Structure 1
Amino acid sequence: MTTRTTTISVTTGTDQVTLVNVFTVAPEHQNALVEALEEATRSIFTKVPGFISANLHVSLDGTRVVNYAQWANEASYAAALQHPEVRKHVKHAAGFAQAYDPVLVQVHSVHHADTAGS
């Protein structure tokens, strides 16, 4: 597992897009899926133009993996999907999942805890 302080910037009104992909997995395959996603991110995505960051979240019951990946814009994400290495990774990762649901989104609003009274 990679331990880093986050560099995520969540801002409205930009061209930046986020891929939110929820994978459904058998609990015994959760770690294998995470390892495949981490390896692909390190070796492939970090070198693709327009890639900003990726964060993996695992459900406590072992049945979900959420990939939260930021891209400079929709065109960069679409171009990445045309790379043979990326396509190979997508197929490999999908093999661990029972289902997956990728959606490309933009930030609509940002909210923080009210700490004025603290």
Structure 2
Amino acid sequence: MTTPATTISVTTGTPRITLVNVFTVAPEHQDALVEALDEATRSIFVKVPGFISANLHASLDGTRVVNYAQWADEASYAAALRDPEVREHVQHAAGLAQAYDPTLAQVRSVHHADTAGS
């Protein structure tokens, strides 16, 4: 897996969208799904216009994988889904999961820990 510096910029009032896709997976398939998503991101998505970043999260109980991905706008994400290479990846990832729930969202509020007293 890769560990580049983050490119996440979470701000309100932009056309950026966030894909939050929660995959339900058998614990014995969690690592394979994470690796498939990681590989597709490194080899496919980084070249897709409008893609900004992706972060993969594996639940501690082994039953979920969460893909948190940022896109320039909804049109860029929709165009990516029409790309045959992207569609092939989506089908492969779906085949490793028991279920998945992709949700597009826009940042409406941002908060940070109060570190003024530190």
Query: Letter of the aligned partner of 1:87 in structure 2?
Result: R
1:79 is aligned to 79
Query: Letter of the aligned partner of 1:11 in structure 2?
Result: T
2:57 is aligned to 57
Q: How does 1:37-48 map to 2 (within 5 A)?
A: 37-48=37-48
The CA deviation string for residues 16-59 of structure 1, in whole angstroms up to 9 with x for no partner, is 00100000000000010011101111111111100000000000
1:16 is aligned to 16
Q: Distance in 1 between matches of 2:5 and 2:60?
A: 21
Q: Distance in 2 between matches of 1:61 and 1:103?
A: 22
Deviation of 1:115 after TM superposition, in Å, equals: 1.2
TM-score (norm 1): 0.97
Please identify runs of 4+ aligned residues in structure 1 that moved more than 4 A. none
Deviation of 1:5 after TM superposition, in Å, equals: 2.5
Deviation of 1:6 after TM superposition, in Å, equals: 1.6
TM-score (norm 2): 0.97
Q: Distance in 1 between matches of 2:37 and 2:61?
A: 19
Deviation of 1:111 after TM superposition, in Å, equals: 0.2
Structure 2 residue 116 is matched with structure 1 residue 116: yes
Alignment RMSD (CA, Å):
0.7
Deviation of 1:116 after TM superposition, in Å, equals: 1.4
Query: Letter of the aligned partner of 1:93 in structure 2?
Result: A
Deviation of 1:4 after TM superposition, in Å, equals: 2.3
Q: Distance in 2 between matches of 1:4 and 1:46?
A: 13
Q: How many residues align?
A: 118
Query: Letter of the aligned partner of 1:31 in structure 2?
Result: D
Deviation of 1:76 after TM superposition, in Å, equals: 0.2
Q: Distance in 2 between matches of 1:4 and 1:80?
A: 23
The CA deviation string for residues 74-104 of structure 1, in whole angstroms up to 9 with x for no partner, is 0000000000001111000000101100000
